[in-house]
């Protein structure tokens, strides 16, 4: 039950979405691929790069895995459960492979990187294994696999950013698009497998980022989310070869500004920020531009300085609190969300209480909450014993979830009677008589279509009349 709860509050609720790109007529392609993505937004964004590479190699997308020549799973390793889900899915594909022996099955992403060629032995039906920096080699690997060989490329790169590849927008609502600005992570949080699966941090060419955002806007998109494991350490120095007047180094603050200037009608979001790296410059730029959304995802992980140290987060409880104060001071009304881990190695009841009190202090609008899952090869796995019993981890997680539910409700209740500018994303899930959109603070708001003529992608002012802990309800004013 708890796992369901955790998933609901995390992006992994999107796990296993099958993507069928709305691109050129699939009939024009001789072969078809089917792709499923798991895990973080970065993985979903990577799948759009993979789709672009495959399209250029003559593969069209299909929504139906039974008619595919190639099935790909873009996988996540962040918690053990994510890997279990993928393994289960692979066994389900076994049936299709029996019916269609020519079918190729490929594993992409973090799990491919973590388990490498061992995956081919463990999962007999896997033909292709490709790590996050090797997607350009997919067409060659597919050819190898078609010739009956198992094909693997899990080389990590210090340079690859796929800057020149135009992602094929998969299952997009046509309003919001994700744009990858950097890859990898240098932080080495002790619990985290990402630095091992996604490699060293590198920033993408700023001009190619701005170009991609502008292209999206020209195609009718109204919102871009700039993605990176740690966006605040974005750093790009233009070279003489960059056909642009600008020569000074681009930081995350200046990148945000460059993207915000594309048009006041293009909303800019970003994820994820690290408390140690988010600067006042970034906060001032967010405050300065109306179209940069007033929302920061600022994972705390734990409220105990001792645990934060063991996690190698490089900030203390007090430092984090000061950051929250600074955000509230520079960007009044800013939405703030967090990631929290319950039951990290040696965590005491006192440490746990410190997490609860820091959540209360921060007044998060939303949190993604997990219990600690030891990952092979991480610093924590090598250094510490995973010594908190599962029952204790789950009980603590439940307390964290309960508190977050109250905080989310309180945050929504504070919005009652206020009017927000909302970007309409589409019909509400429950009724096509209602629109669903988001406020700048990233809150979902549902309101009746009655009484006003507007469309998906429009900005409207909506007054909040009611709320649940997860959603605001309102009416157009
Ligand atoms: N166990 C539990 N949660 C984890 N996260 C990362 N690694 C682990 C782990 N081993 C969480 C962190 C991170 C989010 C993306 O996933 O909270 O911010
Ligand atoms: Fe993992 Fe920490 Fe990097 Fe986030 S910042 S990806 S938690 S190592």
For 2-54, what is each residue's pLDDT tens digit? 332 232 223 333 344 444 344 455 567 789 999 999 999 999 999 999 999 99
Please, which pLDDT band fits residue 254 given cuts at 50, 70 and 90? very high
pTM greater than 0.85: yes
**Residue ID of nearest Cα to ligand 2 atom 1:** 192
Give the pLDDT of residue 25.
Answer: 56
Average pLDDT over residues 285-310: 98
Q: Is the CB of 187 under 6 A from ligand 2?
A: yes
Task: Choose one of 370, 376, 394 to mutate for the ligand 1 pocket test, by most ligand atoms within 8 angstroms of C-beta.
Answer: 370
Number of the ligand 2 atom closest to the C-alpha atom of 192: 1
Instruction: Evaluate the CA torsion angle 196, 200, 203, 204 in order and state its sign.
Output: negative
Name the residue with tokens 């091992």.
196
**Residue ID of nearest Cα to ligand 2 atom 4:** 229
| Span 10-19, pLDDT tens digits | 333 334 444 4
Give the pLDDT of residue 243.
Answer: 64
Higher-pLDDT residue of 2, 150: 150
Task: Choose one of 11, 182, 183, 185 to mutate for the ligand 2 pocket test, by most ligand atoms within 8 angstroms of C-beta.
Answer: 185
Give the pLDDT of residue 11.
Answer: 37
Average pLDDT over residues 432-436: 95
Give the pLDDT of residue 22.
Answer: 45
Give the pLDDT of residue 246.
Answer: 65
Give the pLDDT of residue 94.
Answer: 86
What is the distance between the alpha carbons of residues 299 and 441, in angstroms, rounded to a whole number? 16
Radius of gyration of the CA atoms of the chain, in A: 22
The answer to whether residue 1 scores a pLDDT higher than 70 is: no
- Decide if 271 contacts 297 (C-beta within 8 A): yes
As given in the structure block, the two tokens for residue 336 are 């703030």
Give the pLDDT of residue 242.
Answer: 65
At the top level of CATH, which class does the domain 294-414 belong to? alpha beta
The answer to whether residue 141 scores a pLDDT higher than 80 is: yes
Please, which pLDDT band fits residue 125 given cuts at 50, 70 and 90? confident
Q: Is the CB of 79 under 6 A from ligand 1?
A: yes
Question: Looking at beta carbons, which pairs linking 329-333 to residues 24 or more positions away fall under 8 Å?
Answer: 330/280, 330/283, 330/284, 330/286, 330/287, 331/283, 331/286, 331/287, 331/294, 331/296, 333/294, 333/441
Give the pLDDT of residue 123.
Answer: 79
The answer to whether residue 226 scores a pLDDT higher than 80 is: yes
Fold exhibited by the domain 419-476:
OB fold (Dihydrolipoamide Acetyltransferase, E2P) (2.40.50)
Number of the ligand 2 atom closest to the C-alpha atom of 313: 2
Mean of the per-residue pLDDT values for the chain?
Answer: 92
Average pLDDT over residues 294-304: 98
Give the pLDDT of residue 245.
Answer: 60
Number of the ligand 2 atom closest to the C-alpha atom of 274: 5
Check if 31-153 and 294-414 are the same fold. Answer: no
The number of angstroms, rounded, from the C-alpha of 301 to the middle of its chain's C-alpha atoms is 17
Higher-pLDDT residue of 65, 6: 65
The answer to whether residue 240 scores a pLDDT higher than 70 is: no
What percentage of residues in the chain have a pLDDT greater than 90?
Answer: 85
329 prior amide bond cis, ω within 30: no
Q: Please report, for the chain, the start and end positions of each structural domain, with discontinuous segments joined by +.
A: 31-153, 294-414, 419-476
- Decide if 105 contacts 71 (C-beta within 8 A): yes
Fold exhibited by the domain 31-153:
Rossmann fold (3.40.50)
Task: Choose one of 229, 232, 310, 370 to mutate for the ligand 2 pocket test, by most ligand atoms within 8 angstroms of C-beta.
Answer: 229
Number of the ligand 2 atom closest to the C-alpha atom of 229: 6
Give the pLDDT of residue 101.
Answer: 85
| Span 334-383, pLDDT tens digits | 999 999 999 999 999 999 999 999 999 999 999 999 999 999 999 999 99
Q: How far is the CA of 378 from the centre of ligand 2 (A)?
A: 11
| Span 165-203, pLDDT tens digits | 999 998 889 999 999 999 999 999 999 999 999 999 999
Please, which pLDDT band fits residue 469 given cuts at 50, 70 and 90? very high
Q: Is the CB of 11 under 6 A from ligand 1?
A: no
Nearest to 442 by CA among 467, 428, 422: 422
Task: Choose one of 195, 199, 344, 373 to mutate for the ligand 2 pocket test, by most ligand atoms within 8 angstroms of C-beta.
Answer: 195
Instruction: Report the chain's terminal Cα–Cα distance, integer Å.
Output: 40
């Amino acid at each position: 039950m708890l796992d369901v709860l955790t998933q609901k509050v995390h992006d992994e609720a999107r796990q296993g979405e099958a993507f069928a790109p709305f691109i050129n007529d699939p009939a024009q392609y001789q072969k078809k691929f089917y792709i499923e993505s798991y895990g973080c937004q970065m993985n979903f964004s990577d799948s759009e790069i993979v789709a672009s590479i495959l399209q250029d190699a003559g593969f069209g997308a299909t929504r139906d895995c039974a008619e595919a020549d190639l099935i790909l799973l873009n996988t996540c390793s962040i918690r053990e459960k994510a890997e279990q889900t993928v393994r289960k899915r692979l066994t389900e594909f076994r049936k299709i492979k029996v019916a269609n022996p020519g079918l190729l099955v490929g594993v992409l992403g973090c799990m491919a990187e973590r388990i490498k060629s061992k995956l081919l032995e463990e999962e007999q039906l896997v033909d292709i294994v490709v790590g996050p920096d090797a997607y350009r080699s997919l067409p060659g690997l597919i050819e190898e696999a078609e010739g009956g060989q198992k094909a693997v490329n899990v080389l990590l790169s210090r340079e690859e950013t796929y800057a020149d590849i135009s992602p094929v927008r998969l299952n997009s609502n046509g309003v919001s698009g994700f744009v990858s600005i950097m890859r990898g992570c240098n932080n080495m949080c002790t619990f985290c497998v990402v630095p091992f699966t996604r490699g060293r941090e590198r920033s993408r060419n700023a001009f190619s980022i701005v170009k991609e955002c502008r292209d999206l806007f020209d195609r009718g998109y109204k919102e871009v989310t700039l993605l990176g494991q740690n966006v605040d350490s974005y750093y790009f120095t233009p070279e003489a070869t960059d056909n642009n007047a600008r020569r000074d180094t681009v930081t995350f603050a200046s990148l945000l500004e460059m993207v915000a200037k594309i048009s006041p009608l293009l909303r800019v979001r970003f994820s994820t920020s690290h408390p140690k790296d988010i600067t006042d410059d970034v906060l001032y730029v967010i405050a300065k531009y109306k179209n940069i959304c007033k929302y920061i995802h600022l994972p705390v992980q734990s409220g105990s300085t001792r645990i934060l140290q063991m996690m190698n987060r490089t900030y203390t409880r007090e430092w984090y609190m000061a950051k929250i104060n600074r955000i509230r001071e520079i960007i009044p009304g800013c939405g703030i969300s967090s990631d929290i881990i319950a039951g990290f190695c040696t965590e005491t009841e006192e440490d746990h209480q410190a997490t609860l009190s820091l959540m209360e202090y921060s007044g998060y609008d939303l949190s993604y909450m997990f219990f600690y899952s030891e990952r092979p090869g991480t610093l924590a796995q090598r250094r510490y014993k995973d010594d908190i019993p599962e029952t204790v981890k789950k009980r603590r997680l439940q307390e964290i979830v309960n508190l977050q539910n109250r905080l989310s409700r309180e945050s929504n209740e504070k919005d009652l009677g206020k009017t927000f500018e909302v970007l309409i994303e589409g019909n509400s899930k429950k009724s096509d008589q209602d629109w669903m959109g988001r406020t700048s603070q990233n809150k979902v708001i549902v309101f009746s279509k009655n009484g006003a003529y507007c469309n998906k992608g429009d900005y409207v002012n909506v007054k909040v009349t009611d709320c649940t802990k997860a959603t605001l309800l309102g009416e157009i004013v």
